[in-house]
């Protein structure tokens, strides 16, 4: 059974506000399709297998001013080596200091990934090479060192290895190779070796390449599309009210049918209707109150506070317009940040009784501490 309109809207809002989970995807992307079907209404960072990628490092000294220039150069180079097939490659350029390069997605269809995600109401937060996510998860002293780090996939006899040469934290070379075993790479022992089984949690340290196959945007990664979010909230409220009305209509019709078969029960019909009306009125009143709430200033204030905190990741928002209550859920690496956020919101005109009501360890798959902020807000005007 397909989800109702209200459920689809709720999933869209949850995907927009949720912290992305990670899924490792190999050529063909079968894992991603299965993952999306099991996780509707979520956000995801797609980590792409090295077997689905070609890599390029730009020669030092080329006059490539920005990522657009790096991407154009990379497209020419991939076309030179791979011919007409390169026209179908999605390109993800990167630049760190004087070093620059690009990854080409040849084993996956980016448009197909996006279509699968949209069908399951999954938000694609990023589509990145696995080696880049692993590199960002290495300790700072390793990333700042000089030597090789090696990301590899597959069993002995058929391995793909991405060999990255670091020179005091600078990317000096990056090459993808097919080898029988890691020993075939030769040279000194690597500073670090990674596989798809490693935990890919970003660590502080020197900047590393972060290529992303999704279209680049100037929007802040923490920004909420306020208009879209507000529309979703309002539409969800309206559809919730409509669902309640429909449920009441069905219940009343059932009572009427029973009463027509049992004359003695007919006298109970007015009482039944009398009991139904308050619930019906409450749903309509709540819908009208939600529509009247000043969503733009409310969400702008939450967005501004979250952006100031920088490491806050929002998970959800619930509102009860009738009671003027707002509940925010998020993730933070530091309880002090959540406390400061609650204090900041508490000084906002129109916000009262702002309380950090819950703080706990994040669920499996999420990084940080989960917190909940409850507040009362003015619903009749700007905040």
Q: What is the pLDDT of residue 321?
A: 72
Each residue's pLDDT tens digit, 58-68: 998 899 999 99
Beta strand 99-105 pairing with 53-57? antiparallel
- Tell me how far CA of residue 82 lies from CA of 49, 57, 160, 186, 353, in angstroms: 19, 16, 19, 28, 62
Q: Which residues of the chain have pLDDT under 50?
A: 1, 218-231, 234, 264-266, 268, 271-272, 274, 381-383
pTM listed for this prediction: 0.61
Task: Order the strands of the 192-194 sheet from edge to edge.
Answer: 170-179, 159-167, 147-153, 192-194
Predicted local distance difference test score (pLDDT) of residue 36: 93
The reported pLDDT for the residue numbered 106 is 95
- 3-state SS of 180-211 is CCHHHHCCCCCCEEECCCCCCCCCCCCCCCCC
- In this prediction, residue 222 carries a pLDDT of 39
Helix (H) or strand (E) segment spanning residue 304: helix 295-309
Q: Is 33 exposed, middle or buried (0-12, 13-18, 19+ CB in 10 A)?
A: middle
Element (H, E) at 269: helix 268-292
Judge contact between 76 and 86, C-beta under 8 A: no
pLDDT digits (tens, 9 = 90+) for 82-119: 999 999 999 999 999 899 999 999 999 999 999 999 88
* Chain segment 269-328, per-residue pLDDT in tens: 554 454 555 655 666 666 666 666 666 666 666 766 665 555 677 777 777 777 788 888
């Amino acid at each position: 059974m397909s989800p109702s309109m209200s459920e689809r809207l709720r999933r869209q809002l949850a995907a927009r506000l949720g912290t992305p989970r990670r899924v490792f995807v190999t050529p063909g992307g079968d894992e991603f399709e299965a993952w999306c079907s099991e996780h509707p209404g979520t956000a995801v960072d797609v980590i792409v297998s090295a077997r689905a990628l070609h890599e390029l490092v730009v020669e030092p000294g080329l006059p490539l001013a920005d990522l657009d220039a790096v991407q154009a150069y990379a497209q020419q180079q991939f076309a030179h080596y791979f011919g007409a097939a390169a026209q179908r490659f999605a390109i993800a350029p990167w630049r760190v200091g004087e070093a620059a390069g690009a990854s080409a997605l040849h084993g996956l269809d980016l448009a197909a990934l996006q279509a699968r995600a949209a069908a399951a109401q999954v938000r694609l937060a990023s589509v990145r090479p696995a080696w880049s996510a692993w590199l960002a998860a290495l300790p700072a002293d390793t990333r700042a060192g000089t030597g090789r780090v090696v990301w590899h996939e597959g069993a002995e006899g058929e391995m793909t290895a991405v060999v990255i040469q670091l020179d005091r934290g600078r990317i000096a070379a990056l090459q993808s190779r097919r080898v029988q075993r890691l020993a075939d790479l030769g040279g000194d022992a690597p500073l670090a070796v990674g596989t798809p089984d490693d935990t890919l949690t970003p660590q502080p340290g020197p900047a590393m390449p972060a290529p992303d196959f999704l279209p680049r945007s100037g929007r802040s990664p923490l920004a909420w599309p306020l208009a879209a979010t507000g529309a979703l909230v309002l539409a969800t409220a309206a559809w919730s009210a409509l669902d309640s009305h429909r449920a009441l209509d069905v219940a009343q019709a059932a009572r009427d049918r029973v009463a027509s078969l049992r004359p003695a029960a007919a006298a109970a019909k007015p009482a039944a209707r009398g009991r139904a009306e308050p619930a019906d009125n409450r749903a309509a009143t709540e819908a009208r109150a939600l529509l009247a709430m000043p969503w733009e200033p409310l969400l702008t204030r939450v967005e501004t506070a979250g952006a100031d905190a920088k490491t806050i990741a929002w998970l959800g928002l619930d509102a009860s317009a009738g009671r003027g209550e707002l509940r925010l859920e998020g993730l933070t690496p530091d309880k002090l940040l959540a406390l400061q956020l609650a204090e900041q919101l508490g000084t906002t005109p129109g916000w009262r009784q702002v309380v950090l009501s819950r703080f706990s360890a994040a669920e499996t798959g999420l990084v940080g501490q989960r917190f909940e902020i409850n507040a009362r807000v003015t619903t009749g005007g700007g905040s």
